[in-house]
Amino acid sequence: NSEDVRCKCICPPYKDHSGHIYNKNVSQKDCDCLHVVEPMPVPGPDVEAYCLRCECKYEERSSVTIKVSNLILLA
């Protein structure tokens, strides 16, 4: 399921831009600021400095396991 994987980038405030959290369904190798942060909030010369501040993590989950656990808890 494409909904079971995502890349989450947490970007702190930078200059006059507030902090933001970005999520996108991408492969693990593409889990970085340049592939996830869209639209890029800063102009070209500031992109590298902005991206160095962002922390990106690849996350996987099993929605089937979550659904089964919920059914057991509700039963």
What is the pLDDT averaged over residues 7-26?
95
Q: In what order do the strands lie in the sheet with 5-11?
A: 20-24, 5-11, 55-60
Distinct helix (H) and strand (E) counts, the chain:
3, 3
What is the pLDDT averaged over residues 14-24?
95
Grade residue 57 by pLDDT with cuts at 50, 70 and 90. Answer: very high
Block residue for tokens 């405030």: 13
Instruction: Pick the closest to residue 35 from 16, 54, 63 (CA basis).
Output: 54
Checking if the pLDDT of 29 tops 90, the result is: yes
Q: Measured between alpha carbons, how far is 54 from 38 in angstroms, rounded to an integer? A: 13
What is the pLDDT averaged over residues 43-51?
95
